[in-house]
Amino acid sequence: MGLLLQGGGCHGPVGRVGVVGAFPDRYLHYRMAKISIRDLPVEGKEVLMRVDFNVPLEDGEITDETRIEGAIPSIRHLLEGGAKLVLCSHLGRPKGEQDPRFSLKPVALRLSQLLGREVLFAEDCVGEESAGQREQLGAGEILLLENTRFHGGEKENDESFSKELAGSASFFVNDAFGTAHRAHGSTEGVTHHVEKSAMGFLIEKELEFLCEKLAEPSRPFVVILGGAKVSDKIEVITALLEKADSLIIGGAMAFTFLHAQGYGMGRSLLEVDKSDLALEILAKAKAKGVRILLPSDTRVTREFREGAETKVTSVYEDGGEIEEDWEGIDIGDVTIKRFCDEIATAGTIVWNGPMGVFEISSFSEGTRKVAEAVAQSEALTIVGGGDSVTAVKKYNLGERMSFISTGGGASLELLEGKDLPGVAALTNL
């Protein structure tokens, strides 16, 4: 089945009929109906599929294969349907030139093991050699092209690069949600050079949870936001003030809000120039009846390292502050309890961003406790990509979440009510 979207971004449930606006009416400016991988007659046809194989590598070894595993349902569907399947992806940031550190060769090997069949590999994503390999593909065979970002035309969305990448493919499938918010050659450009373009199962699932299930969320709808900068999250905060019942704000961006309210933040990371913006957000939330929960206390340190001395400030409302030579690195004990109590009341939870520097164990308590509270909740729980996913995996809580998004930036832009170029460019029903 296809997907029906209204307006910019996620504006209603997945399905061919019956769309309910998920965000304010001002976003509902047009209607799109996009085809699914299920709608493609792929037997005997060459299909170019954009996957997200941007996996972490250490000494040529894949350290987390989640993204590879996420693409397998769509890959199997196409192969079982008799497609001549060509996969393309980026990996890392090679700056438009060949760099062996970012080769997809290790991915081809691991994918072959996971599928239980040979995965052919092309040393380049364009050019005569890869074109020849594509031409020789038989039905049910699979070829992985080398890193698309070895060419500057990828990020530039150069038409000639996109046309060459599309090659002789009849159809294009985009199943790389993590890059769907970028208008690159392999996400948007190729769609102009094939007969039809469709979304894969992974993108379908992302849109189901980030759009359909948030159209009319079970309440209370609690959003947990972390991260470093208010400026990075201002649009999503503004959009969610129209939908959420409460916003929990942690991470370094909380310091900007606290600073704006007159509390001393010591050496903590903050955006002084965004103080007025923070106050505007707080005022807007109050006017709309949306609760914003900021830290009541903060765990601080003098040294940014494992094993460093830490302590927790007094409660801010009782005169607490972060002293000049100390830096906030996690939420404090009182805050942990307040945040977890709020999470326990939720009917729907969206979490994007850690509560502190969880990568260092002595600074990780807040993120771990919040992650556990989300996992223990009976609410629909959506983890919105990025560092939140890393935290969930670190604490082995993934199976207890309703849905874990594969794209941090893409999921944020959906929540902001924006279109995703990699979805918008797909073929209409």
**Could you give the residue numbers annotated as active site?**
67, 229, 386, 409
In the block, residue with structure tokens 């945040």: 339
Which residue type does 355 have?
M
Q: What is the DSSP letter of 208?
A: I
The Cα-based distances of 72 to 124, 236, 251 in angstroms read 22, 31, 34
In angstroms and rounded to an integer, the radius of gyration of the C-alpha atoms of the chain is: 23
Measure the N-to-C terminal CA separation of the chain; round to a whole number of Å. 10
- From CA 143, how far away is CA 119, in angstroms rounded? 6
Closest listed residue to residue 415, CA positions, set 20, 10, 15, 12: 10
User: Which phi and psi angles does 246 have, rounded to 5°?
Assistant: -150, 145
Write out the two tokens for 343: 């999470």
Which residue carries 């052919």 as its tokens? 120
DSSP 321: -
Report strand pairing: 310-312 vs 171-174.
unpaired
Closest CA to 199 of 7, 402, 39, 8: 39
Ramachandran area for residue 400 (φ above 0: left; ψ -120 to 50: alpha; else beta): alpha
State residue 326 phi and psi, 5-degree precision. -115, 155
Strands 46-50 and 61-62: unpaired
